[in-house]
Protein backbone atom coordinates (compact mmCIF):
# COMPACT_ATOMS: atom_id res chain seq x y z
CA UNK A 1 0.00 0.00 0.00
CA UNK A 2 1.05 3.60 -0.51
CA UNK A 3 -0.62 6.28 1.57
CA UNK A 4 -2.32 3.75 3.84
CA UNK A 5 0.99 3.28 5.62
CA UNK A 6 0.78 6.80 7.05
CA UNK A 7 -0.62 7.53 10.51
CA UNK A 8 -3.01 10.28 9.55
CA UNK A 9 -4.13 12.92 7.10
CA UNK A 10 -6.59 12.87 4.26
CA UNK A 11 -4.50 10.44 2.22
CA UNK A 12 -4.29 7.88 5.03
CA UNK A 13 -6.85 5.58 3.40
CA UNK A 14 -5.66 5.98 -0.20
CA UNK A 15 -3.96 2.72 -1.09
CA UNK A 16 -2.12 3.63 -4.31
CA UNK A 17 -1.12 6.99 -5.79
CA UNK A 18 -0.31 7.23 -9.50
CA UNK A 19 0.90 10.37 -11.28
CA UNK A 20 0.32 10.96 -15.00
CA UNK A 21 3.05 13.07 -16.63
CA UNK A 22 3.95 14.34 -20.08
CA UNK A 23 6.87 16.35 -21.32
CA UNK A 24 4.70 18.60 -23.50
CA UNK A 25 1.12 19.67 -23.94
CA UNK A 26 -1.27 18.31 -26.53
CA UNK A 27 -0.37 14.63 -26.18
CA UNK A 28 -3.64 13.64 -24.50
CA UNK A 29 -2.31 13.32 -20.96
CA UNK A 30 -5.59 14.29 -19.29
CA UNK A 31 -7.49 11.96 -21.62
CA UNK A 32 -5.24 9.05 -20.62
CA UNK A 33 -5.53 9.98 -16.92
CA UNK A 34 -9.31 10.03 -17.20
CA UNK A 35 -9.47 6.74 -19.09
CA UNK A 36 -7.15 5.04 -16.60
CA UNK A 37 -9.52 6.11 -13.82
CA UNK A 38 -12.56 4.85 -15.74
CA UNK A 39 -10.83 1.56 -16.57
CA UNK A 40 -9.89 1.02 -12.92
CA UNK A 41 -13.51 1.77 -11.95
CA UNK A 42 -14.60 -0.77 -14.56
CA UNK A 43 -12.38 -3.29 -12.75
CA UNK A 44 -14.30 -2.65 -9.54
CA UNK A 45 -11.96 -0.15 -7.92
CA UNK A 46 -12.80 3.08 -6.13
CA UNK A 47 -10.83 5.89 -7.74
CA UNK A 48 -10.07 9.55 -7.08
CA UNK A 49 -8.64 12.04 -9.57
CA UNK A 50 -6.59 15.01 -8.41
CA UNK A 51 -6.29 17.55 -11.22
CA UNK A 52 -3.26 19.73 -10.49
CA UNK A 53 -3.12 21.17 -14.01
CA UNK A 54 -3.96 24.58 -12.54
CA UNK A 55 -3.88 26.57 -15.79
CA UNK A 56 -5.72 23.96 -17.89
CA UNK A 57 -8.21 22.08 -15.71
CA UNK A 58 -9.93 19.97 -18.37
CA UNK A 59 -10.93 16.86 -16.43
CA UNK A 60 -14.21 18.32 -15.02
CA UNK A 61 -15.40 18.68 -18.62
CA UNK A 62 -14.18 15.20 -19.56
CA UNK A 63 -16.22 13.72 -16.71
CA UNK A 64 -19.28 15.93 -17.23
CA UNK A 65 -18.81 17.57 -13.84
CA UNK A 66 -18.32 21.21 -14.83
CA UNK A 67 -21.27 22.60 -12.87
CA UNK A 68 -20.55 20.74 -9.63
CA UNK A 69 -19.55 22.55 -6.44
CA UNK A 70 -16.98 21.76 -3.79
CA UNK A 71 -18.19 21.73 -0.18
CA UNK A 72 -16.40 21.82 3.15
CA UNK A 73 -16.45 19.21 5.90
CA UNK A 74 -14.54 18.79 9.16
CA UNK A 75 -11.72 17.08 7.22
CA UNK A 76 -11.41 19.80 4.56
CA UNK A 77 -12.77 19.94 1.00
CA UNK A 78 -15.18 17.22 -0.08
CA UNK A 79 -14.28 16.05 -3.60
CA UNK A 80 -16.91 16.04 -6.32
CA UNK A 81 -18.44 12.65 -7.05
CA UNK A 82 -18.98 12.17 -10.78
CA UNK A 83 -21.24 9.12 -10.58
CA UNK A 84 -24.19 8.13 -8.41
CA UNK A 85 -22.33 5.13 -7.02
CA UNK A 86 -19.57 7.47 -5.74
CA UNK A 87 -16.88 5.26 -7.27
CA UNK A 88 -15.03 8.17 -8.91
CA UNK A 89 -14.29 11.40 -7.04
CA UNK A 90 -12.57 14.46 -8.45
CA UNK A 91 -10.86 17.58 -7.19
CA UNK A 92 -9.86 20.35 -9.58
CA UNK A 93 -9.28 24.08 -9.49
CA UNK A 94 -11.98 24.18 -12.16
CA UNK A 95 -14.52 23.84 -9.32
CA UNK A 96 -13.09 26.88 -7.51
CA UNK A 97 -13.23 29.40 -10.37
CA UNK A 98 -16.06 31.93 -10.44
CA UNK A 99 -16.41 31.46 -14.19
CA UNK A 100 -15.28 28.45 -16.28
CA UNK A 101 -13.29 30.72 -18.60
CA UNK A 102 -11.40 32.53 -15.82
CA UNK A 103 -7.64 32.35 -16.29
CA UNK A 104 -5.40 31.29 -13.39
CA UNK A 105 -2.75 34.03 -13.46
CA UNK A 106 -0.63 33.05 -10.48
CA UNK A 107 3.04 33.16 -9.67
CA UNK A 108 4.86 30.02 -8.57
CA UNK A 109 4.43 30.37 -4.77
CA UNK A 110 0.65 30.65 -5.01
CA UNK A 111 0.49 27.63 -7.35
CA UNK A 112 2.67 25.64 -4.99
CA UNK A 113 0.48 26.58 -2.02
CA UNK A 114 -2.63 25.43 -3.90
CA UNK A 115 -1.02 22.10 -4.79
CA UNK A 116 -0.10 21.51 -1.16
CA UNK A 117 -3.65 22.37 -0.15
CA UNK A 118 -5.02 19.92 -2.73
CA UNK A 119 -2.77 17.15 -1.41
CA UNK A 120 -3.43 17.77 2.28
CA UNK A 121 -6.92 19.27 2.54
CA UNK A 122 -9.16 17.08 0.36
CA UNK A 123 -11.17 14.51 2.32
CA UNK A 124 -10.89 11.58 -0.10
CA UNK A 125 -12.02 8.87 2.27
CA UNK A 126 -11.01 5.36 1.28
CA UNK A 127 -9.72 4.94 -2.28
CA UNK A 128 -8.05 2.09 -4.10
CA UNK A 129 -6.30 4.55 -6.43
CA UNK A 130 -5.66 8.28 -6.60
CA UNK A 131 -4.77 9.40 -10.14
CA UNK A 132 -2.88 12.72 -10.19
CA UNK A 133 -3.10 14.60 -13.49
CA UNK A 134 -0.19 17.04 -13.74
CA UNK A 135 0.50 19.96 -16.11
CA UNK A 136 2.94 19.46 -19.00
CA UNK A 137 6.65 19.87 -18.40
CA UNK A 138 9.00 19.61 -15.42
CA UNK A 139 8.31 22.90 -13.65
CA UNK A 140 7.76 24.13 -10.08
CA UNK A 141 4.32 22.53 -10.00
CA UNK A 142 5.78 19.09 -10.65
CA UNK A 143 8.40 19.46 -7.93
CA UNK A 144 5.73 20.69 -5.48
CA UNK A 145 3.41 17.81 -6.37
CA UNK A 146 6.09 15.14 -6.01
CA UNK A 147 7.42 16.65 -2.77
CA UNK A 148 3.92 16.83 -1.27
CA UNK A 149 3.17 13.23 -2.23
CA UNK A 150 6.54 11.65 -1.36
CA UNK A 151 5.60 11.00 2.31
CA UNK A 152 2.78 8.80 1.01
CA UNK A 153 5.06 6.64 -1.13
CA UNK A 154 3.38 6.95 -4.56
CA UNK A 155 3.58 3.84 -6.72
CA UNK A 156 5.03 5.92 -9.55
CA UNK A 157 4.28 7.75 -12.78
CA UNK A 158 2.78 6.90 -16.14
CA UNK A 159 4.39 8.97 -18.91
CA UNK A 160 2.31 9.88 -21.96
CA UNK A 161 3.78 10.63 -25.39
CA UNK A 162 2.72 10.69 -29.01
CA UNK A 163 4.77 8.84 -31.65
CA UNK A 164 6.61 11.86 -33.09
CA UNK A 165 10.28 12.40 -32.28
CA UNK A 166 9.62 15.87 -30.80
CA UNK A 167 7.15 14.48 -28.23
CA UNK A 168 9.37 11.48 -27.47
CA UNK A 169 12.30 13.81 -26.82
CA UNK A 170 10.25 15.73 -24.26
CA UNK A 171 9.25 12.51 -22.52
CA UNK A 172 12.93 11.56 -22.36
CA UNK A 173 13.44 14.71 -20.29
CA UNK A 174 10.46 13.67 -18.15
CA UNK A 175 12.23 10.37 -17.47
CA UNK A 176 15.26 12.36 -16.29
CA UNK A 177 13.00 14.41 -14.02
CA UNK A 178 11.54 11.26 -12.45
CA UNK A 179 15.02 9.91 -11.82
CA UNK A 180 16.20 13.14 -10.19
CA UNK A 181 13.23 13.37 -7.81
CA UNK A 182 13.17 9.65 -7.01
CA UNK A 183 9.79 8.94 -8.60
CA UNK A 184 9.45 5.40 -10.03
CA UNK A 185 8.25 5.11 -13.62
CA UNK A 186 5.41 2.64 -14.01
CA UNK A 187 5.59 2.82 -17.79
CA UNK A 188 5.14 4.76 -21.01
CA UNK A 189 1.93 5.09 -23.06
CA UNK A 190 2.05 6.02 -26.75
CA UNK A 191 -1.14 7.99 -27.38
CA UNK A 192 -2.59 8.96 -30.80
CA UNK A 193 -0.85 5.93 -32.27
CA UNK A 194 -2.72 5.69 -35.55
CA UNK A 195 -6.19 6.90 -36.55
CA UNK A 196 -9.23 4.62 -36.47
CA UNK A 197 -11.54 5.22 -39.43
CA UNK A 198 -15.11 5.64 -38.11
CA UNK A 199 -16.49 3.92 -41.23
CA UNK A 200 -14.33 0.82 -41.69
CA UNK A 201 -12.42 0.78 -38.35
CA UNK A 202 -9.09 0.50 -40.20
CA UNK A 203 -6.18 2.06 -38.28
CA UNK A 204 -3.91 4.39 -40.29
CA UNK A 205 -0.63 5.81 -38.97
CA UNK A 206 -1.08 9.50 -39.69
CA UNK A 207 1.88 10.24 -37.39
CA UNK A 208 5.00 8.12 -37.13
CA UNK A 209 4.68 5.01 -34.99
CA UNK A 210 6.70 3.24 -32.35
CA UNK A 211 8.56 6.19 -30.80
CA UNK A 212 7.15 5.56 -27.32
CA UNK A 213 7.88 1.84 -27.47
CA UNK A 214 11.45 2.45 -28.63
CA UNK A 215 12.01 5.00 -25.85
CA UNK A 216 10.70 2.55 -23.26
CA UNK A 217 13.01 -0.16 -24.55
CA UNK A 218 16.08 2.08 -24.54
CA UNK A 219 15.22 3.46 -21.09
CA UNK A 220 14.54 0.08 -19.54
CA UNK A 221 10.98 0.94 -18.43
CA UNK A 222 7.77 -0.93 -19.28
CA UNK A 223 5.85 -0.02 -22.42
CA UNK A 224 2.16 0.02 -21.53
CA UNK A 225 0.76 0.12 -25.06
CA UNK A 226 -0.44 2.19 -28.01
CA UNK A 227 -3.78 4.03 -27.84
CA UNK A 228 -5.11 4.96 -31.30
CA UNK A 229 -6.95 8.14 -32.19
CA UNK A 230 -10.63 7.25 -32.15
CA UNK A 231 -13.35 9.84 -32.96
CA UNK A 232 -15.64 8.10 -30.45
CA UNK A 233 -13.08 8.69 -27.70
CA UNK A 234 -12.70 12.33 -28.73
CA UNK A 235 -16.46 12.91 -28.63
CA UNK A 236 -16.74 11.12 -25.30
CA UNK A 237 -14.21 13.53 -23.81
CA UNK A 238 -15.99 16.52 -25.34
CA UNK A 239 -19.39 15.57 -23.89
CA UNK A 240 -18.33 13.89 -20.66
CA UNK A 241 -19.44 10.38 -21.58
CA UNK A 242 -18.02 7.10 -20.26
CA UNK A 243 -16.17 5.89 -23.36
CA UNK A 244 -15.27 2.46 -22.00
CA UNK A 245 -18.86 1.61 -21.11
CA UNK A 246 -20.39 3.02 -24.28
CA UNK A 247 -17.85 1.84 -26.88
CA UNK A 248 -16.38 -1.52 -25.81
CA UNK A 249 -16.02 -2.44 -29.50
CA UNK A 250 -13.57 0.41 -30.15
CA UNK A 251 -9.94 -0.52 -30.99
CA UNK A 252 -8.91 1.86 -28.19
CA UNK A 253 -10.83 -0.19 -25.61
CA UNK A 254 -8.38 -3.14 -25.32
CA UNK A 255 -5.42 -0.74 -25.23
CA UNK A 256 -6.86 1.24 -22.33
CA UNK A 257 -8.05 -1.76 -20.33
CA UNK A 258 -4.66 -3.41 -20.84
CA UNK A 259 -2.97 -0.35 -19.28
CA UNK A 260 -5.33 -0.63 -16.30
CA UNK A 261 -4.57 -4.34 -15.89
CA UNK A 262 -0.85 -3.60 -15.85
CA UNK A 263 -1.38 -0.94 -13.16
CA UNK A 264 -3.51 -3.36 -11.11
CA UNK A 265 -0.83 -6.03 -11.33
CA UNK A 266 1.86 -3.52 -10.36
CA UNK A 267 -0.20 -2.35 -7.41
CA UNK A 268 -0.76 -5.88 -6.18
CA UNK A 269 3.01 -6.49 -6.25
CA UNK A 270 3.59 -3.51 -3.95
CA UNK A 271 0.78 -4.35 -1.51
Terminal-to-terminal C-alpha distance of the chain: 5
178 is an annotated ligand-binding site residue: no
pLDDT band at 265 (very low <50, low <70, confident <90, very high): very high
Task: Evaluate if residue 150 carries a pLDDT over 90.
Answer: yes
Which of 176, 185, 126, 123 lies closest to 154, judged by CA? 185
Average pLDDT over residues 204-229: 86
29 is an annotated ligand-binding site residue: yes
28 is an annotated ligand-binding site residue: yes
Average pLDDT over residues 115-122: 92
Whole-number pLDDT of residue 48: 97
Q: Into which CATH architecture does domain 3-270 fall? A: 3-Layer(aba) Sandwich (3.40)
Task: Evaluate if residue 264 carries a pLDDT over 60.
Answer: yes
Domain boundaries, the chain: 3-270
* pLDDT tens readout for residues 36-84: 999 999 999 999 999 998 877 899 999 999 888 888 888 889 999 998 8
pLDDT band at 251 (very low <50, low <70, confident <90, very high): confident
pLDDT top residue among 174 and 210: 174
26 is an annotated ligand-binding site residue: yes
How far apart CA 115 and CA 97 sit, in angstroms, is: 15
56 is an annotated ligand-binding site residue: no
Task: Evaluate if residue 198 carries a pLDDT over 90.
Answer: no
24 is an annotated ligand-binding site residue: yes
46 is an annotated ligand-binding site residue: no
Task: Evaluate if residue 259 carries a pLDDT over 50.
Answer: yes
204 CB-near residues (< 8 Å, 6+ apart): 194, 195, 197
At 42, is the secondary structure helix, strand, or coil? helix
Task: Evaluate if residue 249 carries a pLDDT over 50.
Answer: yes
Which of 169, 164, 155, 138 lies closest to 222, judged by CA? 155
Task: Evaluate if residue 3 carries a pLDDT over 50.
Answer: no
Amino acid sequence: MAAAAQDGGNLANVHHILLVLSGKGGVGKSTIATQIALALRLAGKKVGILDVDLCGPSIPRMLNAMNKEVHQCDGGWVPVYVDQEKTISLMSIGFLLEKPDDAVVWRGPKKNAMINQFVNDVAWGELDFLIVDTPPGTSDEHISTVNALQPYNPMGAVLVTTPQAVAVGDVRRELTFCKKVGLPVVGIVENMSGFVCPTCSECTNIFSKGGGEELARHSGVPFLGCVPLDPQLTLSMEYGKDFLREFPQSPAYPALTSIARFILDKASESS
